[in-house]
Every structure is written in C-alpha cells, then in structure tokens.
Homo-oligomer: A and B are copies of this chain.
Amino acid sequence: MPHLKITLAYDGTNYAGWQVQPAAHGPTIQGVVAAALNRLTGERICPVAAGRTDAGVHARGQVISFSTSSRIPVDRWPLALNSLLPEDIAALGAEVVSPEFHARYSARWKWYRYTIYNHSLPDVFSRRYSWQVRHPLDFAAMARGASYFTGRHDFRSFCAAGSPVRNYEREVLKANLSREGNFIFFDVVANGFLYHMVRIMAGTLVEIGRGRLLPEDVPVILAARSREKAGPTAPPQGLCLERVEY
C-alpha cells in the first residue's frame, strides 16, 4: 500500500486547529482534509501532521502522511485534492515515501514564523496573519533577547502550564528577528516544539521590546523552568508553520 507525503498550506482563521476536536469547537483542518481524502479515495484515511497547529494558526508548509491503496498518480494528487478542499486549504505537493515515514516523528526540524505588525493604526489586510502591537518596540533589544533562545535548553518556562510532557528539552537551531516596514518577523527553527512555545517566546520578546523585560532576562526565565516567569502567550493569528525538514 503506497505511503504518501503531502504538503499543505492553510489559512487557519476559520478552524479550531489541526486536530479533530469534539464538534462543539468547530471544524478542524484534519477533519476537512480527512473528508476530502475520503471522497477522493473512498477510503477512511486519518492523516498525521508534522505540527498540530492551534486554532487560528496558519501553515505555508504543513506536511501530512498517510497510507492509501488509491491508484491516482502521485503528481495528480495536489490538483485532485484541491478540487475537493475549501479555498482556505491547499495541497501544494505530493510524493511517495517509504512506509516508515511519519510526518511528525520523522521530522528533523520545523520552522515557525511569528509576525508582529508594529503600528498604532491597524492594517486591515494583515490582521488575520499578524499580531498588532500598538506600542513602539525596541527592535534591537528584542533581537538580543531572541538570540538567547538558540541552543539546547529546557523550555519549561515557554510551555503552556498543564501540558502533558515529560521532557522539556528542545534544541533551537535558529531564533532570528527581522523586519520589513512595520512588520517584525520572529523565525524559530527547532527539532521540536512544546505547546504554545513560539507564542510564549513571541509574547516575551514583545515585553522586552516594550522595556518591561530585559534581553538578559531570557536566560534567567529559561533557568527558572516556570511558565509564570515568561511573558504572555501571543495571539494565534501571528503564527505560521513555514516548513518541515526530514
């Protein structure tokens, strides 16, 4: 039975995240994609994703995997799936992979981008894809703060309280701040992410940018291993899963 890897992009605004939830929470990406796979193949397929994105979080390069006995040629999959998907979810590519491939467990690293729109006036076109921070932000201080995230650390302070995890250690390969006009981009590449990790990092960087924390507080917060020491959780719409590498 062929095993497939498919790359997806989605605008998460209208979804209760990736993972199938009790119906009351609204539709999920996984549910909508599974329904499209079902219509396309006649099989009950439950796709696995590289990153279980939260409600309102987007993806430009989510990766899913599943097995199917469908004989659709692999290069036809994206267009075939897109004809069945709503316009806020798109299949961008497909390839046949070995049966051991698992979208989540086989991932070597994932790249998330958090986008801040830093202006006192709203931007109507980016509001669904960024966090508007009205206060002036000290970019240089934020960039210095971000640099402390790189390396292997215990990220317990940057994990939502009550998360059912045993090992809080993750390796951050890159934690970089850049800007373009009124936008500030926070790019994080890591071998794994804890629940809300990027959003708490972004919330903490904004506290630094507003002068309510110092860049040098980041290593202190990391060492504290306590969610209460870090900044607030930045809102979901600024977050996007950009790419997964295997």
Contacts and interface: CB of A to CB of B under 8 A. Distances in A.
Contacts of A11: 124-125, 127
27 contacts: A9-B123, A9-B124, A9-B125, A10-B124, A11-B124, A11-B125, A11-B127, A58-B125, A60-B125, A78-B121, A79-B120, A79-B121, A82-B121, A82-B122, A87-B122, A87-B124, A87-B127, A88-B124, A88-B127, A89-B124, A90-B121, A90-B122, A90-B123, A90-B124, A91-B121, A92-B121, A125-B129
Interface of A: 9-11, 58, 60, 78-79, 82, 87-92, 120-125, 127, 129
> This chain: how many copies in the complex?
2
A122 to B, nearest CB: 4
Contacts of A91: 121
Given A82-B122, A87-B127, 10 more contacts: A9-B124, A9-B125, A11-B124, A58-B125, A60-B125, A78-B121, A90-B121, A90-B122, A90-B124, A92-B121
A87 B123 CA distance: 9
Contacts of A129: 125
Nearest to A134: B79
A108 B115 CA distance: 37
A133 to B, nearest CB: 15
Contacts of A78: 121
Most buried by B among A82, A89, A90: A90
